[in-house]
Amino acid sequence: MTTRCTDEHGSNRPAGGHSGRRPGESGTRDAILVAAREAFAADGFDKATLRAIAASAGVDPALVRHFYTDKETLFDRAMTLPWDSDEIVSAIIEGDPERVGERIVLRFLLSWETGTSRDVFRAMIRSAVTHDRAAEMIRDLITRRLVGPVTRALRVPYPDLRATLVGSQLVGLAMVRYVTRVEPLASLDREAAARVVGPNVQRYLTGDLETRT
Amino acid sequence: MTTRCTDEHGSNRPAGGHSGRRPGESGTRDAILVAAREAFAADGFDKATLRAIAASAGVDPALVRHFYTDKETLFDRAMTLPWDSDEIVSAIIEGDPERVGERIVLRFLLSWETGTSRDVFRAMIRSAVTHDRAAEMIRDLITRRLVGPVTRALRVPYPDLRATLVGSQLVGLAMVRYVTRVEPLASLDREAAARVVGPNVQRYLTGDLETRT
């Protein structure tokens, strides 16, 4: 089975790779990344194997090792989000300030349900419980790349605590909706889910966190 | 290394086990369960091995197989929560109706931080991303054993949706606080965490979920 090249990773070069590029090399490398994302998303880091990824990409396992050295390196490369973090954060912050929470949830659900980020997010969460690098990627998304920039832009007190609280709701929403699939939340329409969860995220973003201390 | 018998599973008998009980047999079985919980909690279902569990309990791997047949069966037995679900639900519901959310969060955090449930919860969440039985246990806790009974007792509309929303917040809180350990939420004092997350859970329990449809 071959997997088609459909994404943006063609320009990455292997560390220490040879300088002559064979025709089709970038297509092969992309096919491996796509197969890797699918495998990590379905099975998590521990269960996924280079052999199965190679088979799914239609290449020899030795070629996977040639391009990506080992499973850790392949995981790191495959987990690159096709995201402009600044652009996403701007889109979340602009508009009705009372609905920043809803916009962040909707954007998060969209990323879980469409495109390359779909497999990246699934792989990240399935791997985070046992693989430190994946846990680090989640921490990074919460504190630095997605939620942290939003709370800092809002100029509210306790931006770091607020970011982790929002992160807790987003990660839990993903676990319940996409990983353990608990109904009726798993099948709820994306916009309805964002409307129902949004006000809770909004309280974490801008609400009074010390009402009963 | 031997592990001391410290919990409540001594009365479980192996399916199809022999009827003559050797002296110390229940102690050995308990030591295996304690070692299993610790291994599943640290490594998740996939990475934990019967061999390592046997070594940690100070017994031969053959004895683990004799008592518990295979890793799936051992996981099921080790995951038994030392809980009276009715009693916990009653304690959560009684008291100030405006603080049911805070009480459910506090009880949940207590279970994550103390006693046998500490390892059970860690094992469950670390295994749920790849092992269907663990995912089923989480679904069961949300819909039937912990949150579902609370939303049904509150006689609010949409009790099932509310239960899964609360579940999403609790699971995410555990992932961020205990698994990926994102600061400052990971180190926040337990009571402070319950106060700050409680009102969000309260909205899911009793609030208006359709403010902007």
**Model confidence over B70-114: pLDDT tens digits?**
999 999 999 988 878 889 999 999 999 999 999 999 999 999 998
The tokens 């987990």 sit on which residue? A79
| pLDDT tens-digit map of B31-80 | 999 999 999 999 889 889 999 999 999 999 999 999 999 999 999 999 98
- Listed as ranges, residues in chain A with pLDDT below 50 are 1-20, 211-213
CB contact under 8 A, B46 and A130: yes
Q: What is the mean pLDDT of chain B?
A: 86
CB contact under 8 A, A128 and B180: yes
- For B125, the closest of A129, A139, A186 (CB atoms) is A129
Q: Is B49 on the interface with A (CB under 8 A)?
A: no
How many Cβ atoms are within 10 Å of B60's Cβ, its own excluded?
12
CB contact under 8 A, B172 and A177: no
Exposed e or buried b for every residue in B29-40, given b needs 16+ CB within 10 A?
Answer: bbbbbbbbbbbb
Task: State the smallest CA–CA distance between residue A145 and chain B in angstroms.
Answer: 14
Whole-number Å distance between alpha carbons of B174 and B41: 13
- ipTM value for the complex: 0.83
C-beta of residue A76 within 8 angstroms of C-beta of residue A14:
no
The residues, any chain, with a CB within 8 Å of residue A107's CB and separated by 6 or more, are A88, A91, A92
Q: Is B47 on the interface with A (CB under 8 A)?
A: yes
Using a pLDDT cut of 70, give the percent of chain B over it.
Answer: 87
Task: State the smallest CA–CA distance between residue B157 and chain A in angstroms.
Answer: 14
Instruction: Tell me the C-alpha to C-alpha distance, in Å, between residue A192 and each of A19, B66, B116, B161.
Output: 51, 51, 38, 12
Instruction: Please give the pLDDT value at position B130.
Output: 81
Q: Is B25 on the interface with A (CB under 8 A)?
A: no
Instruction: Please give the pLDDT value at position A11.
Output: 40
